[in-house]
């Protein structure tokens, strides 16, 4: 399109992901950094992922809910899409995404629980990309519409320990040959931080710049392809602490390749809600079980028998090891849940837990007529795929009892959905 062409339009809504839907010249465009009610001018661009995009030029008339972003690089950084919207509105917008996605499944008795207010708890799992500018090598997040890495002095959404770690890595960039790596991943747990340098080059242990940040020990790793090897020895083991009923807790060992929810308080709230929904269950099935993050607290708190399955061999090993350390009746199998699999170990559960990736659990949901759990609990990081899978459950005789939205990633365009289904 003509780079000099500018259109004027009114922002009608924020869509999942945080882009604004703007109507101009009888067309709809997706534009970043606008909020509902804004009157803006923008430059139309090419279609991407089937939708016409635009680049914001000027806010002609700002909406009442528009605010100055708390982050100085909000305009460029792709990490947080909702910085220009007043925090008091975030819950309404994000809850609406969840309720709209599951709308065909709701009925007059469905309980709807909106997301709570914006949390100040930071993200404990981050991947920084390596960038370089006139000031040298740095770590940052990618820009909204490009692979360009954005430099920032401080990240308001990271935990204090991880933001301190980032600055320490930048200060030691030459010593650790940071520019040779593609990215750095960090996972903060209750008793330590995994730091994973990702890319082809390796690193001598003597070049590691620090072994502790904010009182937390660091375990350094190098990842190339699918292989992750320790850089610092002896290897330290770190753990996640989760609620397990009646104010009890369990401790799970989490390795550098194991998935954990990116926000600790939000993860604990998911587990606490799941424990309430599983009350009275004697047999619980956990599909897409990961390291047992959701089902091991159930096995411990309710003395329930748990059978789980997961595609990742490493996660299955970790879940079984955690079950052994806890001394609970839980076992996990390796299975490709996106294809047909043997349902024998998982049939007839009191509760079946589904925590799939963004693509959802269409295959598993289509098998519920054979699995026949009394209750189903879904935890979806993508509300749209959750709503699609919910329609399958509905067609098989399950009714949506409770639908809950959770804002685990404040200021981003992401929302989590929890749903309880009964026969």
SS3 of the chain: the string is: CCCCCCEEEEEEEECCCCCEEEEECCEEEEECCCCCCCEEEEEEEEEECCEEEEEEEEEEECCCCECCCCCCCCCCECCCCCCCECHHHHHHHHHHHHHHHCHHHCCCCCEEECCCCCCCCCECEEEEEEEEECCEEEEEEEECCCCCEECCCCCCCECHHHHHHHHHHHHCCCCCCHHHCCEEEEEEECCEEEEEEECCCCCCHHHCCCCEECCEEEEEEEEECCEEEECCCCCCCEEEEEECCCCCEEEEEECCCCCCCCCHHHHHHHHHHHHHHCCCCCEEEEECCCCCCCHHHHHHHHCCEEEEEECCHHHHHHHHHHHHHHCCCEEEEECCCCCCCCCHHHCCCCEEEECCCCCCCHHHHHCHHHHCCCEEEEEECCHHHHHHHHHHHHHCCCEEEEEEEECCCCCCCCCEEEEEEEC
Residue 15: predicted pLDDT: 96
CA-CA distance, 356 to 380, in Å (whole number)?
A: 7
- Give the percent of the chain with pLDDT over 90: 86
Query: Prior bond to 93 cis, omega within 30?
Result: no
How confident is the model over 345-363, as pLDDT tens digits? 999 999 999 999 999 999 9
CA-CA distance, 397 to 215, in Å (whole number)?
A: 52
CB-CB contact of 399 with 359 (8 Å): no
Mean pLDDT is lowest, of 113-122, 123-132, 212-221, 288-297, for: 113-122
Residue 84: predicted pLDDT: 96
> Which residues lie below 8 Å from residue 53, measured CB to CB, with a gap of 6+?
29, 30, 31, 44, 45, 46, 47, 145
1: pLDDT strictly greater than 60: no
- Residues annotated catalytic, as ranges: 381
Residue 118: predicted pLDDT: 86
Dihedral of the CA atoms 308, 313, 319, 321 (nearest 10)? Answer: 130
Mean pLDDT is lowest, of 46-55, 125-134, 173-182, 216-225, for: 46-55
Residues 352-373 as b or e (16 or more Cβ within 10 Å = b): bbbbbeeebbebbbebbeebeb
Residue 107: predicted pLDDT: 96
For residue 85, which of 76, 74, 77 has the smallest C-alpha distance? 74
Over residues 324-336, the mean pLDDT reads 97
For residue 232, which of 244, 217, 248, 220 has the smallest C-alpha distance? 220
More confident residue, 179 or 304: 304
2: pLDDT strictly greater than 70: no
Residue 245: predicted pLDDT: 85
198: pLDDT strictly greater than 90: yes
- Give this prediction's pTM: 0.93
Dihedral of the CA atoms 310, 158, 95, 363 (nearest 10)? Answer: -10
Helix axis angle for 383-395 and 87-101, nearest 10°, is: 30
């Amino acid at each position: 399109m003509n780079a000099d062409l500018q259109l004027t339009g009114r922002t009608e809504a924020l869509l999942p992901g945080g882009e604004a839907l703007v109507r101009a010249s009888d067309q709809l465009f997706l534009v970043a950094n606008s909020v509902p009610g804004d009157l803006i001018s923008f430059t139309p661009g090419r279609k991407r992922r089937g939708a016409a995009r635009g680049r914001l030029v000027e806010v002609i008339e700002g909406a009442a809910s528009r605010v100055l972003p708390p982050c100085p690089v909000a305009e460029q950084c792709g990490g947080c899409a909702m910085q220009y919207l007043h925090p008091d509105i975030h819950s309404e917008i994000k809850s609406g995404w969840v309720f709209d996605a599951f709308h065909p499944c709701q009925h007059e008795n469905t309980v709807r629980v909106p997301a709570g207010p914006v949390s100040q708890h930071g993200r404990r799992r981050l991947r920084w990309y390596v960038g370089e500018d006139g000031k040298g090598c740095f770590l940052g997040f990618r820009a909204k519409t490009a692979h360009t890495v954005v430099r920032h002095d401080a990240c308001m959404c990271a935990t204090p320990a991880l933001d301190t770690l980032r600055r320490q890595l930048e200060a030691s960039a030459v010593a650790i040959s940071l520019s040779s790596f593609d990215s750095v991943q960090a996972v903060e747990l209750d008793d330590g931080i995994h730091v994973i340098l990702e890319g082809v080059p390796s690193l001598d242990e003597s070049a590691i710049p620090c072994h502790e940040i904010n009182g937390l020990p660091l375990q350094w790793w190098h990842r190339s392809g699918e292989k992750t090897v320790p850089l610092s020895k002896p290897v330290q083991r770190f753990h996640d602490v989760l609620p397990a009923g009646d104010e009890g807790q369990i401790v799970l060992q989490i390795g550098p390749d194991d998935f954990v929810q990116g926000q600790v308080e939000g993860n604990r709230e998911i587990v606490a809600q799941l424990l309430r929904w599983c009350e009275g269950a004697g047999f619980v099935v956990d599909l897409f079980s990961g390291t047992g993050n959701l089902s091991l607290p159930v096995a411990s708190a309710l003395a329930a028998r748990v059978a789980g399955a997961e595609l990742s061999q490493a996660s299955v090993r970790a879940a079984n090891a955690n079950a052994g350390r806890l001394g609970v009746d839980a076992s996990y199998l390796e299975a490709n849940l996106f294809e047909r699999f043997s349902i024998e170990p998982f049939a007839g559960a009191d509760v079946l837990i589904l925590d799939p990736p963004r693509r959802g659990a269409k295959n598993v949901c289509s098998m519920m007529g054979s699995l026949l759990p009394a209750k189903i609990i879904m935890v979806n990081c993508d509300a749209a795929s959750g709503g699609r899978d919910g329609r399958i459950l509905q067609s098989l005789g399950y009714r949506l009892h409770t639908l809950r939205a959770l804002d685990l990633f404040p200021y981003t365009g992401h929302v989590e959905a929890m749903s309880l289904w009964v026969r």
